[in-house]
Chain A
Amino acid sequence: MSGSGQTHGDHRQWAETSHCRVSAARHLGGFAVLELIAPRIARRAAPGQFVMVTVPGEGYLLRRPISLFSAEADCIALLVEARGRGSERLTRLEVGDVVDVAGPLGSAFPTQGVTNALLVGGGIGCAPLQYLADELAAAGAHVTAAFGFRDFRAARAVGAFTIERLSVATEDGSVGRAGTVLHLLAALDVAPGTTVYACGPTPMIAAVQRWTFHEGLRGYVSLEAHMACGTGSCHGCVVDTARGKLRVCSEGPVFRLDEVTP
């Protein structure tokens, strides 16, 4: 059965657990960038895929699905936001800690043949777009990113990103332009044929979807869902799509922007 998990590109899903040492941990307010030594995950991964991370300690049952923030050589990185008990515990991981990680899992952002890319992120949904920007830039694509955040605290995540052409908006006007990511999009001069990649909260996805159709563009979206297994078994993470209910962990998390119904 080896290799039959290919959906996009040459990445492959992998359910087995890797015991990964934290090689770097950077804290940005309620966020942490965790670099993990995970050669076997890094080797298979592609932008858009995620990993299931076991929360260390007693009292946590389900693993947390976290998208790949980067992957190169022997390391992967995760951008984690302290949102609930489990993710808060993950942001407190320190260099030398060992954490159990399964992955890479799920579908990847298609990138083949893309020359102009617009990356639209909202909140912690920006996380998978760094890895995507790295891969697109390495392939010679022209990459522009527009990120929106709720407020100053949420915008602390910006400090984790190294995307050359990145504009930021906050709803409270504390960082970047005052407004939503849609205000940023309206101000952009987007080349025809640009591929849109989006990840963020549901209202943002809906707005980006409308904007993309209006501009006559096509694109992809990475969705988030509460998950139990992360490996296609439990059907807990389904979303409604034009193709019916699909699993975010299995058919997703990356879907065509025109097939989701946010």
Chain B
Amino acid sequence: MSDRRPPAPETDLSVRLGPVELAHPLVDASGTLDVLEYARRYDGDYLADFPYAAYVPKTVTADPRTGNPPPRVTETPSGVINAIGLENPGVHAWIAQLGEWAALRAPVLVSVGGNSPEQYAAVISALEAHLAAAPPGTVPDVRGYELNVSCPNVVGGLQIGADPTATAEVVGACRAATARFLLTKLTPNVRDVTEAGAAALGAGADGLSLVNTFKAMVLDRDTLRPFLGNRTGGLCGPAIKPIALRMVAEVAHAFPDTPLVGMGGVMTGLDALEFIACGATAVAVGAANFTSFEAPQRILAELRDEVAARGFGTVGEARGIALRA
């Protein structure tokens, strides 16, 4: 990377994701980066040096969840398969920890999970009540929510996002619980990804993020039995990028001007630019966070170079290029 040209300072990477101003298009994909864990393993002030333009924490649910039995994760060709199972301490314990990362400099989009509209809305209502009463400086800058209706690894294989009616019910319940920016994270495990997207937008979602992981399976080479404790898991990483790009393009084409967070196997700045060219407003980085602590800074520098090298004055000029006839 030492032979890289110095970044062009005039290149404007800022984007507006609905009402949320982002310094650049990159955010973390939920569940792939924990600010407190990195802060404990960093010499400087990680909350000040946080590299992403917004922070999407690991999905929180109304009640504590212990997650799936191990093993939960392994590498596959050009990919990673996981079945964590939404392990989290539940919204009340989660709220109690907010003070520890209140100084995070980036806006926060809280990822919310559940099995029913009531459970999703309960998370948001609990957090909204806390935010309304919290003294300044004691909570991070929560700007919105990402409704995770697309985890493929929860008990019973229930995937709300595969059912447009169920998706609309969840979004509707959450819309009633908050005035903040509301994203719905779509599953790719459907025939037509725009159906759940339309349902979410129709029920009041402000934007969409996609894709979550692809339901997949990996076998133990010795026993020929499913390797993961949950038998199946969700596939991410470069293996899914071409499918994710196609799906983002379909959603961007169906819902022009809708705030979109594209993701799926982004490992480089060019990958990120490709999602923007397919219509994404912002781009989430997932599996790349597992490859190094410095991955977000590297991808951002590469994105800046890619935008500048193509003569774009702003990253927004690249948005939707792949959709044009």
Task: Please give me the residue from chain A that is nearest to B47 by CB atom.
Answer: A1
Q: In the bound complex, do residue A1 and residue B39 qualify as a contact, i.e. CB atoms below 8 Å apart? A: yes
Between B45, B78, B290, the greatest number of chain A beta carbons within 10 A of the residue's beta carbon is seen for B290
- A201 CA to B102 CA in the complex, in Å? 42
Q: In the bound complex, do residue A226 and residue B73 qualify as a contact, i.e. CB atoms below 8 Å apart? A: yes
Q: A232-B34, A238-B70 are in contact. Are A13 and B292 (CB under 8 A)?
A: no
Nearest Cβ on chain A to B247's Cβ, whole angstroms: 21
Task: Return chain A residues, CB-CB under 8 Å to B46.
Answer: 1
Q: In the bound complex, do residue B292 and residue A235 qualify as a contact, i.e. CB atoms below 8 Å apart? A: no
Q: In the bound complex, do residue B67 and residue A238 qualify as a contact, i.e. CB atoms below 8 Å apart? A: yes
Nearest Cβ on chain A to B233's Cβ, whole angstroms: 10
Neighbour of A61 across the interface among B67, B72, B75, B294, CB < 8 A: B75
Neighbour of A231 across the interface among B41, B44, B47, B66, CB < 8 A: B41
Task: Please give me the residue from chain A that is nearest to B227 by CB atom.
Answer: A226
Task: Please give me the residue from chain B that is nearest to A249 by CB atom.
Answer: B37
Q: In the bound complex, do residue A14 and residue B67 qualify as a contact, i.e. CB atoms below 8 Å apart? A: no
B291 beta carbon closer than 8 Å to chain A? yes
Q: In the bound complex, do residue B32 and residue A226 qualify as a contact, i.e. CB atoms below 8 Å apart? A: no
B314 beta carbon closer than 8 Å to chain A? no
Mark out the residues of chain A between 1 and 60 whose CB falls within 8 Å of any chain B CB in the assembled complex. Answer: 1-2, 4-5, 13-17, 54, 59-60
Q: In the bound complex, do residue A229 and residue B74 qualify as a contact, i.e. CB atoms below 8 Å apart? A: no
Task: Please give me the residue from chain B that is nearest to A13 by CB atom.
Answer: B41
B40 beta carbon closer than 8 Å to chain A? yes
Count of CB-CB pairs between chains A and B under 8 Å: 122
Task: Return chain B residues, CB-CB under 8 Å to A229.
Answer: 32-33, 289-290
B312 beta carbon closer than 8 Å to chain A? no
Q: In the bound complex, do residue B293 and residue A105 qualify as a contact, i.e. CB atoms below 8 Å apart? A: no
Between A13, A102, A228, A237, the greatest number of chain B beta carbons within 10 A of the residue's beta carbon is seen for A228
Task: Please give me the residue from chain A that is nearest to B34 by CB atom.
Answer: A233
- A239 CA to B84 CA in the complex, in Å? 12
Nearest Cβ on chain A to B88's Cβ, whole angstroms: 9
Task: Return chain B residues, CB-CB under 8 Å to A235.
Answer: 31, 58, 67, 72, 84, 87
B109 beta carbon closer than 8 Å to chain A? no
B140 beta carbon closer than 8 Å to chain A? no
Q: In the bound complex, do residue B82 and residue A236 qualify as a contact, i.e. CB atoms below 8 Å apart? A: yes
- A136 CA to B293 CA in the complex, in Å? 32
Q: Mark B27-69, 1 if CB is under 8 A from A, else 0.
A: 0000111100111111111110000000000100000001101
A73 beta carbon closer than 8 Å to chain B? no
B237 beta carbon closer than 8 Å to chain A? yes
Task: Please give me the residue from chain B that is nearest to A52 by CB atom.
Answer: B292
Mark out the residues of chain A between 215 and 262 whose CB falls within 8 Å of any chain B CB in the assembled complex. Answer: 225-240, 244-245, 250
Mark out the residues of chain B between 68 and 119 whose CB falls within 8 Å of any chain A CB in the assembled complex. Answer: 69-75, 77-80, 82, 84, 87
A62 beta carbon closer than 8 Å to chain B? yes
Q: A62-B80, A232-B34 are in contact. Are A54 and B73 (CB under 8 A)?
A: no
- A77 CA to B15 CA in the complex, in Å? 46
- A62 CA to B295 CA in the complex, in Å? 13
Neighbour of B72 across the interface among A14, A100, A226, CB < 8 A: A226
B287 beta carbon closer than 8 Å to chain A? yes
Neighbour of A62 across the interface among B37, B71, B75, CB < 8 A: B75
Q: A14-B41, A17-B294, A236-B84 are in contact. Are A59 and B72 (CB under 8 A)?
A: no
Task: Return chain B residues, CB-CB under 8 Å to A86.
Answer: 75
Q: In the bound complex, do residue A245 and residue B291 qualify as a contact, i.e. CB atoms below 8 Å apart? A: no
Q: In the bound complex, do residue B66 and residue A245 qualify as a contact, i.e. CB atoms below 8 Å apart? A: yes
Nearest Cβ on chain B to A252's Cβ, whole angstroms: 12
Task: Return chain B residues, CB-CB under 8 Å to A231.
Answer: 34, 37-38, 41, 293
Neighbour of A234 across the interface among B31, B43, B44, CB < 8 A: B31
Task: Return chain B residues, CB-CB under 8 Å to A245.
Answer: 66-67, 87
Task: Return chain B residues, CB-CB under 8 Å to A61.
Answer: 75, 78-80, 237-238, 287, 290-291
Can you name 13 A-B pairs with beta carbons within 8 Å?
A: A1-B45, A54-B292, A61-B75, A61-B290, A62-B80, A102-B292, A102-B293, A229-B32, A231-B38, A232-B41, A233-B58, A234-B73, A236-B72
Q: Give the interface of A toward B (CB within 8 A).
A: 1-2, 4-5, 13-17, 54, 59-63, 86, 100, 102, 105, 225-240, 244-245, 250
Closest 3 CB pairs of A and B: A236-B73, A232-B37, A15-B41
User: Contacts A1-B45, A62-B75, A100-B292 given; 10 further ones with Cβ under 8 A?
Assistant: A1-B42, A4-B40, A5-B41, A14-B41, A60-B75, A226-B72, A229-B32, A233-B289, A238-B67, A245-B87
